[in-house]
Chain A
Amino acid sequence: MKEKKEVSKPFVIVLLITIVFLAVFCVREYRRISRLDLINAYKERFAQEVGEHRGPLGAKDAVLVASWMTFGYVNMIFKLPPEYLQNDLAISDGGYPNVSIGHYAKTHALDQKLFVVAAQKAVAAYFATTTAQ
């Protein structure tokens, strides 16, 4: 059977005083930074950064295209027309768009790195064309 450890009274009193002191300190600090509008500024900055990370991808993001991505995924994240990459890269595979870029290059004896670069260029070209129009 476990023995119950007795907690000393002075320890409890010191602990309570510390908690009260910290609570008062936190409330005062919160009011101070609220007056300076720091919280709202940080909220806005955070929302902006999250928004940038989750916003639609554009021409500058074409470098993100990687060999593990499927054509369908690339179409989806860049909002490309479904047949755009198929036509631009002359893809004849019946599995399109549910095939990864790397796997397609491998099965069609293409240089994987060069094919990924070609896909990146195709994506960038799409945005260049649509912007020009």
Chain B
Amino acid sequence: MTAFVSTFLSFVLLYKYWAIALIVASSALILPLPTNIVIVAAGAFASQGYLNLTGVIADAIIANIATDCIVFYFCRHYAERIFDRWIKKWDGKFMAIERRLRTYAFGTVFLTRIAGPFAPYVNFVAGIIGVRAAVFIVADILGNALAFLFFASAGYFLGNYWQDFTNDIWIITAAVVVAFIAYLAWKIVRKRKD
């Protein structure tokens, strides 16, 4: 267990649901925190009776959805005015994800909830380009529910020995991220060929 992850685990043991909500919300905002490991650990703590499994899942889902929606709403209404200069400067550089969002808003938002590191960026772009709020919220709820349900349940069933599987959690997360990047790259290459 790295010192970085250990700090977050102590934080969860001390402040329970508040800590989970804060870690998940910070991660949804922009910070690259080990959310999946924390949720698996929280699921394991629930199996030991230290936390409640339903509480952990609900807490994480609500914190993540609330943050995603706030970022989306903020970007939809204010980002262009505040970050006008930067948006113009960046224009064209994020075309791949922007084009995907315009064509497949639901699928892109849903998939990036599972491929964690991209979610904050997609929230930002979805708000700026004006993805329909209903589409964003439904995809956000489904994606987050699926991801947190999976990781918290995994921790619950691994129970006392969840620490033996931390490497596997990193591998699963990395595999999802790599698969998502490969899918995007394949789409871009195919588009260029066309």
Could you list which residues of chain A lie within 8 angstroms of chain B, going by C-beta atoms? 50, 53-55, 57, 61, 64, 66-70, 72-73, 76-77, 98, 100, 102-103
Contact = CB atoms under 8 A, between A and B. Distances in A.
B14 A54 contact: no
Contacts of A53: 47, 157-161
Nearest to A53: B159
Interface centre among A68, A73, A98, A102 (most CB of B within 10 A): A68
Interface in B1-60: 1, 5-7, 9-10, 13-14, 45, 47-50
Interface residues of B, number: 19
For the complex of A and B, list the 5 residue pairs with the smallest distance between their C-beta atoms, beginning with the closest: A53-B159, A68-B6, A100-B10, A54-B159, A68-B9
Nearest to B9: A68
B159 A50 contact: yes
B48 A76 contact: yes
B13 A100 contact: yes
Q: Is the interface of B mostly helix, strand, loop or mixed?
A: helix
Contacts, number: 52
Contacts of A54: 47-48, 159-160
A73 B157 CA distance: 19
A76 B50 contact: yes
B47 A70 contact: no
Q: Is the interface of A mostly helix, strand, loop or mixed?
A: helix
B160 A67 contact: no
17 contacts: A50-B157, A53-B47, A53-B157, A53-B158, A54-B159, A61-B160, A64-B163, A66-B6, A67-B6, A68-B9, A69-B9, A73-B13, A76-B48, A76-B50, A77-B50, A100-B13, A102-B6
B162 to A, nearest CB: 8
Given A53-B161, A68-B9, A70-B13, 13 more contacts: A50-B157, A50-B159, A53-B158, A54-B160, A55-B160, A64-B160, A68-B1, A68-B6, A68-B13, A69-B9, A72-B13, A77-B50, A102-B6
A26 B47 CA distance: 34
A132 B45 CA distance: 30
A45 to B, nearest CB: 14
A102 B10 contact: yes
B163 to A, nearest CB: 7
A67 B13 CA distance: 12
A61 B164 CA distance: 13
Nearest to B47: A54
A55 to B, nearest CB: 8
A65 to B, nearest CB: 11
